[in-house]
Every structure is written in structure tokens, then in C-alpha cells.
Amino acid sequence: MRFFNKKTVILVVAVITVFLLASYAARGKYQFTFMEKAVTTVLAPLESVVSKIGFSFRQVGTSTGQLMTVYRDNQTLRTEIEQLRQSNINVTEIMAENTRLRVMLDYKARAPQFDFVIAKVVARDPGTWTSTIVINRGTADGITKDMPVVTPQGLVGNIVNAYSGTAKVQLILDPRSAVGSLVQRPESRVAGIVEGNGASPLTPKMVNIARDADIIKGDQIITSGFGGIYPKGLLVGEVSDVVNEEGGLLKYAVLKPAVDFDRLEEVFVIVRSREPVPTLPAPQNQPAGQAVPVVPQGAGR
């Protein structure tokens, strides 16, 4: 009975609704507009909510797309900046190398008495930083033991071992090194031996100097040419101090090397020298007219 009543009520409501709609349509335009307004008024809040939700979704989608675009652009800019930074580093390094090579080529042009092989420093032993370096030239390039090694600034050392493609250089800072040297000042010309200083690795000493010898702070020290390894006239360093040895008749000079050994990157190996080897007149027991090279005691260079 209840089911029948519900169906009857629904049917009646539907019929009445259809009748009213037909009646309003028959009466004219304004009555139908009123219905439209009524329906619009009822549905407007729902449409507003739906519209806002749709707009929000559209905004989120747009913002997400914009964020992705900005992210991609940012990544692209980061990559470009890194490439530019690396290019700048490369250009700076090339310019620095070109500057060094121009200086070396200028030195080569000013020293026609020497034949050079240019080499790069490729290794240093951390345990003997001030003793030896390794260069990327060897016997295949005409490098042999005892050849002098220089830079445009001055003397570096000499070859102690040569291999096919590399060679080991003993620096003048090595305590085992010994370089026949003299004071360049014309009124002095005091001779001695420059050797490495174990107590202060970056400041070699010129030793075997008489207590009354004319050597002062600021004097330039050059190779003497005695010994047959180092040609005469290569700059070794500058006297920074003169110290009298205790209880003796000698003194020594502390030198500031001409070469900055912490910044060695390229060097010259002198493979041939046309400098004459300094000699002194032969002792009286030597045949007349024969001269012998003089090697300072303990120098061997």
C-alpha cells in the first residue's frame, strides 16, 4: 500500500510539472524567462562552485607547467654557465701558458750559444719536493745525463737519470748538489760552491768562501763554468745574507734562488753549449802551452 502511494505521488508531481511547464510556455516569453531565472537562481551556487574548482585545476595545471618550464630553463642556464666557466678557465690557462712560452722563446733568442730542448715538468716526489723533478723529455729527444736544466730566470739543476721519454732532474736545492759559482760583481769575482741547504731547503748556500772575501748582501751569483757541466754565466741567485762560520776562517752566503721552484712548469735542457770552458794556466810540471780546466774542491760540476 505504501509502495502504491509513493508511485502515485511521484506520478502526480510529474504530471503537474509537465502541465505547468506547458502552461508557462503557452503564456509567453516572460513566464518562461521567469522559470529560467528560478532554475538559474537555484543552480547558480553549484555552478559557481564547479567553476571555481575547474579554474583552480586549470591554475594548478598552468602553474605546474610554468614551474617545469622554469626548472628546465634553470637547468639549461646552469649547464651554459658551467660551460662558460670551464671555457674561461681554459682560456686563462692557455693565456698563462702562452705568456710563459713567449718568455722562454725570447730567452732562447737571446742565448744563441745554447741549443735547447723544451720540456714540461710532469712529476715531483712529495717526499723530496726540493730535490728532484721529472720532465717529459728523454733520450729519444737527445737528453743525456749531466745536461744542465734552466729557465729564463736562471739555473734549475742537471739531469741525473735519462730514460726514453722522461728524465729526472736534480735541483740545485738538493743537499747533494754542488755548483761551481762566483760573484758577478766585477770588483769581486769571488768563487765558491753553491749547494743545497738541508736546514732551509729553499735557500741554498754558497760555501768555501774565505772570511775576508769580498761578498756582500745583494750580490748576484752566477755559474763559474768550472767542472764541465754548467756553462759559465747562468744566474744562480742573489745573496740574502753572509754568515761567518764558527771557529774557522770561512764564511758562507745564503742565497735567494733566481728560479721560483714552487712554480716550475716548463724548463729548458741545454743539449749543447758553445760557451768556452774556463781554464787556468797549467801547473809548472805541465807541458808549456797546455791548459787544464779548474774544478773547485768538492764541486764536481
CB–CB of 239/194 below 8 Å? no
**Cβ count within 10 A of residue 236:** 24
pLDDT of residue 67: 75
pLDDT of residue 299: 41
Task: Please write the tens of the pLDDT for every residue from 144-162.
Answer: 999 999 999 999 999 999 9
Q: Which of 232, 274, 259, 301 is nearest to 121 (CA)?
A: 259
| pLDDT confidence band for 298 (50 / 70 / 90) | very low
Q: Which of 61, 149, 152 is nearest to 99 (CA)?
A: 152
pLDDT of residue 150: 96
The rounded distance, in Å, linking the Cα atoms of 226 and 134 is: 26
φ, ψ of residue 145 in degrees (nearest 5): -60, 145
Residues 178-201, mean pLDDT to the nearest whole number? 94
pLDDT of residue 84: 75
Task: Please write the tens of the pLDDT for every residue from 162-176.
Answer: 999 999 999 999 999
Is 290 a residue whose pLDDT tops 50? no
Average pLDDT of the residues of the chain: 80
The DSSP element (H or E) to which 154 belongs, if any, is: strand 154-162
pLDDT of residue 206: 97
The C-alpha angle 257, 265, 109, rounded to 5 degrees, equals: 80
| pLDDT confidence band for 3 (50 / 70 / 90) | very low
Q: Residues 6 or more apart from 220 whose CB is under 8 A from it?
A: 183, 184, 185, 235, 237, 238, 239
The rounded distance, in Å, linking the Cα atoms of 197 and 210 is: 19
Q: Residues 6 or more apart from 57 whose CB is under 8 A from it?
A: none
Higher pLDDT, 156 or 288: 156
Task: Please write the tens of the pLDDT for every residue from 51-102.
Answer: 666 666 566 666 677 777 877 878 888 887 877 777 777 777 777 777 777 8
Is 34 a residue whose pLDDT tops 60? no
Q: Residues 6 or more apart from 158 whose CB is under 8 A from it?
A: 146, 147, 148, 149, 169, 170, 177, 229, 230, 301
Residues 214-238, mean pLDDT to the nearest whole number? 94
pLDDT of residue 11: 64
pLDDT of residue 295: 37
pLDDT of residue 256: 96
The rounded distance, in Å, linking the Cα atoms of 110 and 268 is: 14
Is 36 a residue whose pLDDT tops 60? no
